[in-house]
Structure 1
Amino acid sequence: MTEDERSTHGGEIGPTERLAMNRTGSFDWDLDTGTIDVDDAGLLVFGVAADGFDGRPATLVRGLDPEERARLDAVIRRAITSGESSYTAHVRLERADGTPQWTHVQARILRRDGRMAYRIVGIVRDATAEVTHSAFLQELEKRREVQTTIVERTTHALSRAVTVDDVTAALTGPGGLARLGAEGLALGLVENDSLNIIALSGESLDVFDDFRIRRLDQGLPMAETVLSGRPRFVPSFSSLGRDYPELAPYVNRMPFKSACYLPLIAQARKLGGLALFYRRRSSFSADERNLLLGLAAIVSQSLQRAILFDEERELATGLQATMLPRRIPTITGGEIAVRYHAAWSGRQVGGDWYDVIPLPRGRVGIVVGDVQGHDTHAAAIMGQLRIALRAYAGEGHAPSTVLARASRFLAELDTNRFATCTYAQVDLAGGTVRGVRAGHLGPLIRHTDGRVGRPKLRGGLPLGLATVFEDEEFPETRLDLVPGETLVLCTDGLVEQPGTDIEAGLAALAEAVGSGPPQAEALADHLSEQLWERWGSGDDVALLVLRRSPDPGTPRAPRIHQYIHQADPQGLSDARAAVGQALVDWGMPELSDDAELLTGELLVNVLLHTEGGAVLTLEVLPEPVRRVRLSVQDRSSAWPRRRTPGEAATSGRGLLMMDALASRWGVEPRGEGKAVWCEIGPSPAAGPAS
């Protein structure tokens, strides 16, 4: 007796019954006759009635979609023709009630002599449960990957946010909504008794501009979320109009299907609320709700840090502002612009400062300095040192004396801090600048033709250290500002770029000064934008720009000024070219050759026989006869003298040339030096004038 017969007679369940109960059947397909024998369990799997089955394979698979039937035929045909001994396939068919069913076919191919297939035997089973479960797991894993990506990207973007503006930029900037998996966003912060919407992102959300600032106790979804501290998930966006009549006119104008309102809470402090809007989502699963609550926690922590930073920075910059001059005095003969930029480092304020000091005899003192350190102690020392230096300067002392006394003052404070600074006394009437340095950066001068120079300003030790090492020598250097030239002083925060040599920063500063606008205020803004903001605002910056008023003369009597440095070999050539071009522009080209020649002679005499540079002035004298006047001013009191050069002499002919080309020439005392001048015009030549 077989096992099946024993199970039937004895009431036991045999293998056949077990297969049937598991919706698993068998088949035997005779390829020679084209008929297939399928047991009742197999027919049940394919949804074919036993009394209506004619033994044809086509009848067995009539429940399959044409695409599924073609896919199964392709699997069988490939297995037979390729010589394989078995095949498996999952096919999808539709049950009588319309629900889908997945059927798993597993078969073995029998061949004659190992080549010609003549019979296929196998089993079929209902695999709907396992396939569905596998698809569910795959979908679940996919959702989890999406959620992990959302959290990782949002956390990474917010980790670099320092200020509240940085947080809003991370949420609403490029890729912000995609990181959050939403199509719209609104961010509100609690300020006193109001809820202020500080960021909106997404199509058509500008309709919420009417709700930018509202009292916290008003009946709106974000306000209620903030007050209750509980999230609100809205699967049907249209329901907002029913629950909040004030929103009804706006809801239909927005293309969203759902929304969620999340409270932003950090350390029991209600910071605000975050609203996310969705176009396609119409439900929120438990996992999705947990994800959104996690996102709200991440945003809350970032906002808490940013708010604290902004508060600390406001306190620090306020403290720094009280240490700096409240106003800059107006000056005659020029314009001054100052800027102070605090580093983005919370309370870590620095000791950078600037000052403009009225001095006796119409002069003005300018100073830019930096106390060692970045803390409130450095700022406090800076305030004391600035006031002391201002007092010493106001007493009329020479620049070297001012810094020597300031160094003594700082040393007596016993703070173990030193300070660097550059201080200059400026006479805008004559253009004289007397400058001293104490371990600080030297100034830059922008000339009227746009060139930028870095004059060598001699210097001493930093303030405080100079007294400790008993070396309070601060040698003065004289500079000359011609009308229209600009002097630029700054602290190292404007030229020190992280990872770059300071010389590269100074070169960039010189380029920015030369390419900027000529006006002092506009140039100060230009330097801030080009350098401080571009380099990351990592250090405090004090900046002072002083421009001597230009002196263009009048349309009938135009005038230019140019300073030629003694150590600038190109300056002589540039000055001659400027004179020639100016006369062409003024409609006097016939005088340009003689003027250029005389310019060279006057400047060579100064640069060879005096110490320091010279100021060249070219002007037109309209009355009584229109003529050109050249003047070269230097700091030497020695007057030129006429000589009779020999045939082989290489010098001594300058005054003879002036006699020949100029209608008049002469020498005039000018303060500590003199000015040699000559006139070119239609009147006959003459000797030196008194």
Structure 2
Amino acid sequence: MVDRGASDLSLPDDWPAHPAPILALNRMGSWDWDLDSGAMHLDAMAYELFDMEPHEFDGRPATLATRVPSGDAHRLDARVAQALKSGGVLYGAYFRVRRRDGTLRWTRTQAYISRDATGRPRRIVGIVRDATHELSDSTVRRERTAQDAGRRRRTSVAQVATAALAHARTVKEVIDVLKDTQSLTHLGVTSLVMGLVEAGRIKLVAEGPSGSFVPGTRVTRVEEPYPMGEVVRTLAPRFIESPEDFAESYPVLWPHITDLGITSAAYLPLIAQARPIGALGLLYHDKYGFTEEERDVLVTLGSSIAQSLQRAMFYEQDKDLAEGLQQAMLPRTIPTVPGADIAVRYRAASIGRDIGGDWYDVIPLPGGRVGAVIGDVQGHDTHAAAVMGQLRIVLRAYAAEGHHPATVMARASVFLHELDTDRFATCLYAEVDLSTGVVQFVRAGHLDPLVRMVDGTCRRVPVDGGLPLGLSAEFGRLDYPVGTLELDPGQTLLLCTDGLVEQPGADLDDGLQALTTLVGAGSRDLRRLADELCQAADDWSAEDDVALLLLRRRGTGAPQSGGRLRQHVEPGDPGALTGARHMIRAAVRAWGAGERADDIALVADELITNALVHTEGAAVVTLRVITGADRRLRVEVEDASSALPRRRDAGDAGVSGRGLLLVDRLVDAWGVEARGTGKCVWCEFTVPPRR
């Protein structure tokens, strides 16, 4: 064998061969992508694999991507971006090419990334080949199965989010659903922004996570060059598929978010009834591009969000209107009442339209007295609130005119019955004489009051009641019994509606007992106690409004004179007569006239009995204190008869005719006054000054 040596080799001028022919023999094409200029070069075999003529390609990768299905293109873009970001030099991927006849062909690309000394990628060269026979049917099935699983996951997440949005009543609840880690984050979203359109501006109402807010974007004009403004103007979604796309499309915004690591974003117009009400931005890390399916899911989700937002906005507008109406119907301020501390609260229901017919009122009355009202009009809507407002004003007017508590309630019932409404109302009216502590109650189908003692114990005060307002007039049962109670200094009277008592799964008596225990263990401070009671109603998820009135009689500073009590006594009503006697004795003791209590009670009973026996109507009993040179307790009994009483000689065996003689002997002064169509028999007792 002859050794020719290296010097004897004779090589052709075009040796070694250009790689293109060699690749072509293996059905491979090559490509070269300059990252600085963005230009891409394809060889002849690559054109053939992409089923493209050289004149159809302008050297831009985006043009080549038109031959690739969007899902495959986005997946390939993500693979390239990951390789560039990770610092690697090699990558490969399978993808499909759509040929001119519409059929798809599997291909495989492998590439090398060339970087400079700093590690910055400058150039990518690679090959592309036909992979139709390389991929087995099982591989294709696995690819399809993975795609189906991703599709089901995205659809499931959208369905879960849509279901959650269906229960959101307020804008805040809608935002909470969107920021829930179990919803949008499963779509790969890493942060979001949402704005609502208000008067040509977009007001940001949500952003997350913390630290993702871009200064200066809290309120922007719709015409400003921001993506949210664009989707509001065009009513079309905007999908930003790469950082380069973001930087090129929104050069004003991009420099402020480069540190957030955003690689793509989806901005969706929130459209309801063909009108933009806001915009939602979903931002992604490590994601490039969106498949058609992903776009469809996000657009559908955006529609659900828009519908939920509009519903929430309507609800809040309705709620604001309802609350405004409610507040307008309730007293704007509670008057300062000498001799008493008062706290009131109104808490709207946790469900519904947050408005109802519950109310409270405090009515200053002459003679050191005060009227306390609690009531509830049937229903939970604006009509109930409107009826409540009218009823509150009427009841207040009747009380301020000086009518007896039973008369106040009866007239209010007639008024409600004559209104053009089918509503009825429950009510409790308490007239408190702060100088004596005597409380007169009238109850129309309402809860009994509670009294908290000075030592903190609490008890329920049973009060005989009549039918609810409106119903008593309809059925002609306008007689309301009057209950009395003596409220000592330091004791607290509690009036409330059933929203403070009704608890899920418990009857009314159990609720009252629970409230009694709660009041007894509550704060000594009246306003703090009111807050605690309302908080308790919130804790057991009360489904009705709560109106609450607390009145504590002070130990000092109460008026010492001018006390006045009044009560109607109907003929044939033993209970009314008993109540009047109880009221008289309680008032006499409270006014410091206990030593003359028997005389006063006996004389008052005689005058009341005379009025009931010798006239055809009711007797009206009034007690009051008169101060001057001395201190006197005055008893007045009014009736509708103009016939004056006469002294008569009863004789030795007579059982009548001794009444006025008894009155004359026991009182310090008495007389008769004409009162319109009737008369008033009065008497006065001198009582010692109060110590």
TM-score (norm 1): 0.60
Question: Structure 1's 248 and 379: CA in aligned 2 closer, same or farther, altered over 3 A?
Answer: same
The equivalent of 2:467 in structure 1 is: 461
**1:153-211: CA deviation from partner (whole Å, max 9, x where unpaired):** 10221121112222122222453443554221212111222211111222522x33642
Where do 1:140-539 residues align within 5 Å? Answer: 140-173=147-180, 175-178=182-185, 180-205=187-212, 207-208=213-214, 210-237=216-243, 240-241=246-247, 243-343=249-349, 349-413=355-419, 415-531=421-537, 533-536=538-541, 538-539=543-544
Q: How far did residue 451 of structure 1 move?
A: 2.3
Q: How far did residue 272 of structure 1 move?
A: 0.3
Separation in 2 of the partners of 1:307 and 1:635? Answer: 68
The equivalent of 2:569 in structure 1 is: none
Separation in 2 of the partners of 1:551 and 1:280? Answer: 75
Separation in 2 of the partners of 1:314 and 1:185? Answer: 28
Kept in 2: contact 1:328–1:356 (CA 8 A)? yes
Separation in 1 of the partners of 2:359 and 2:299? Answer: 47
Where do 1:550-569 residues align within 5 Å? Answer: none
Where do 1:38-187 residues align within 5 Å? Answer: 128-173=135-180, 175-178=182-185, 180-187=187-194
**How many residues were matched structurally?**
457
Where do 1:571-582 residues align within 5 Å? Answer: none
The equivalent of 1:574 in structure 2 is: none
**1:79-134: CA deviation from partner (whole Å, max 9, x where unpaired):** xxxxxxxxxxxxxxx99x999999xxxxxxxxxxxxxxxxxxxxxx9772313211
2:445 maps to amino acid: G
Superposition RMSD in Å = 3.8
Question: Structure 1's 268 and 468: CA in aligned 2 closer, same or farther, altered over 3 A?
Answer: same
Separation in 1 of the partners of 2:534 and 2:329? Answer: 21
Separation in 1 of the partners of 2:469 and 2:324? Answer: 26
| Highest RCO, 1 vs 2 (Cα 8 Å, sep ≥ 6) | 2
Q: How far did residue 350 of structure 1 move?
A: 2.5
Aligned equivalent of 2:597, options 637, 642, 665: 637
Q: How far did residue 371 of structure 1 move?
A: 1.7
Separation in 2 of the partners of 1:451 and 1:233? Answer: 67
The equivalent of 1:665 in structure 2 is: none
Separation in 2 of the partners of 1:370 and 1:551? Answer: 33
Separation in 1 of the partners of 2:391 and 2:596? Answer: 37
Question: Structure 1's 612 and 515: CA in aligned 2 closer, same or farther, altered over 3 A?
Answer: farther
TM-score (norm 2): 0.59
The equivalent of 1:547 in structure 2 is: 552
Question: Structure 1's 191 and 283: CA in aligned 2 closer, same or farther, altered over 3 A?
Answer: same
Please say which of residues 540-549 and 267-276 is displaced more in the overlay. 540-549
Kept in 2: contact 1:417–1:464 (CA 8 A)? yes
Question: Structure 1's 227 and 671: CA in aligned 2 closer, same or farther, altered over 3 A?
Answer: farther
2:456 maps to amino acid: G
1:541 maps to amino acid: V
Kept in 2: contact 1:423–1:435 (CA 8 A)? yes
Separation in 2 of the partners of 1:634 and 1:281? Answer: 90
Separation in 2 of the partners of 1:633 and 1:292? Answer: 83
Question: Structure 1's 502 and 237: CA in aligned 2 closer, same or farther, altered over 3 A?
Answer: farther
Q: How far did residue 414 of structure 1 move?
A: 5.5
Separation in 2 of the partners of 1:218 and 1:437? Answer: 64
Question: Structure 1's 304 and 398: CA in aligned 2 closer, same or farther, altered over 3 A?
Answer: same
Kept in 2: contact 1:309–1:346 (CA 8 A)? no
Q: How far did residue 213 of structure 1 move?
A: 2.2
Instruction: Give ranges in structure 2 of 5+ residues lacking alignment.
Output: 1-108, 111-125, 558-581, 600-630, 635-690
Separation in 2 of the partners of 1:283 and 1:633? Answer: 93
**1:601-622: CA deviation from partner (whole Å, max 9, x where unpaired):** xxxxxxxxx999999xxxxxxx
Name the % identity: 47
Question: Structure 1's 406 and 437: CA in aligned 2 closer, same or farther, altered over 3 A?
Answer: same
Question: Structure 1's 419 and 229: CA in aligned 2 closer, same or farther, altered over 3 A?
Answer: same
Instruction: Give ranges in structure 1 of 5+ residues lacking alignment.
Output: 1-93, 103-124, 553-609, 616-631, 640-668, 673-689
Separation in 2 of the partners of 1:447 and 1:136? Answer: 78
1:442 maps to amino acid: D
Question: Structure 1's 255 and 497: CA in aligned 2 closer, same or farther, altered over 3 A?
Answer: farther
Separation in 1 of the partners of 2:583 and 2:362? Answer: 30
Separation in 1 of the partners of 2:384 and 2:596? Answer: 44
Kept in 1: contact 2:493–2:550 (CA 8 A)? yes
Separation in 1 of the partners of 2:235 and 2:596? Answer: 81
Kept in 2: contact 1:612–1:634 (CA 8 A)? no
SS in 2 for 1:208: coil
1:274 maps to amino acid: L
Q: How far did residue 376 of structure 1 move?
A: 3.4
Where do 1:581-596 residues align within 5 Å? Answer: none
